[in-house]
Chains A and B, each alone.
Chain A
Amino acid sequence: MKNHSLGTAGRFRRSRSLGRTWENMIPKLLLACALISVFTTLGIIGTLISETTSFFSQVSFGEFFTETKWTALFHESQQHFGVWPLIAGTLLVTGIAAIVAVPIGLASAIYLSEYANPKVSKVLKPILEVLAGVPTIVYGFFALTFVTPLLRGLLPEMGVFNALSAGIVVGIMIIPLIASLSEDAMSAVPKNIREAAYAMGCTKFEVALKVVVPAALSGIIASFVLGLSRAIGETMIVTIAAGSTPQLTLDPTESVQTMTSFIVQAATGDNSFGSTAYGAIYAVGMTLFLFTLVMNLLAQYISRRFKEEY
Chain B
Amino acid sequence: MSAEEVVIHHQEGESGSPTLSLVEKRERSHFGFRRWKNRLAHGLFLISTMIGVIVLGALLWNVVKDGWAWVTPTFFNNFASRLPEQAGIKAAFWGTIWVIGLTVPLTFIFGVGTAIYLEEYARKNRFTRFIQLNISNLAGVPSIVFGILGLTLFVRLMGLGKTVLAGSLTMTLLVLPIVIVAAREAISSVPNNLRLASLAMGATQWQTIRRVVLPYSMPGILTGVILALSRAIGETAPLIMIGAVSFIAFTPGYALDAFTVMPIQIYSWVSLPQPAFQHLAAAGILVLLAMLLSMNAFAVFLRNRFSKDK
Contact = CB atoms under 8 A, between A and B. Distances in A.
Q: Indicate, yes or no, whether A interacts with B.
A: yes
Interface of A: 19, 22-23, 26-27, 29-38, 40-41, 43-44, 47-48, 51, 103-104, 107-108, 110-112, 115-116, 124, 127-128, 130-131, 133-142, 144-146, 172, 175-176, 179, 203-206, 208-209, 226, 229-230, 232-236, 239-240, 260, 263-264, 267-268, 273, 281-282, 285, 288-289, 292-293, 295-297, 300
A107 B44 contact: yes
Contact of A47 (B116, B149, B271): B149
B270 A41 contact: no
Given A111-B48, A281-B148, 17 more contacts: A30-B121, A34-B113, A34-B122, A35-B131, A44-B148, A104-B52, A108-B49, A108-B52, A127-B53, A128-B52, A133-B234, A138-B234, A138-B288, A142-B58, A142-B62, A204-B38, A209-B41
16 contacts: A30-B121, A33-B109, A47-B152, A47-B153, A48-B145, A104-B48, A108-B45, A111-B46, A115-B42, A124-B49, A137-B285, A141-B270, A141-B281, A203-B38, A236-B237, A240-B270
Interface stretch (B2-10, B80-88, B172-180): B172-180
Contact of A40 (B46, B136, B138, B144): B138
Contacts of A208: 41
B19 interface: no
A46 to B, nearest CB: 9
Contacts of B134: 37-38, 41
B49 to A, nearest CB: 4
Mostly, the A contact residues are helix
B223 interface: no
Contacts of B217: none
Interface centre among B37, B152, B289 (most CB of A within 10 A): B152
A133 B60 CA distance: 13
B49 A112 contact: yes
A36 B114 contact: yes
Contacts, number: 244
A292 B140 contact: yes
B96 to A, nearest CB: 11
A240 B267 contact: yes
A205 B42 contact: yes
B49 A107 contact: yes
A135 B45 contact: no
Nearest to A236: B236
Interface centre among B35, B143, B278 (most CB of A within 10 A): B143
B117 A30 contact: yes
Contacts of A203: 34-35, 37-38
B230 interface: yes
B26 to A, nearest CB: 16
Given A136-B236, A203-B35, A285 B138 contact: no
B45 A107 contact: yes
A104 B51 contact: yes
B148 A172 contact: no
Contact of B117 (A23, A33, A111): A33
B121 A235 contact: no
B102 interface: no
B274 interface: no
A34 B241 contact: no
B288 A135 contact: yes
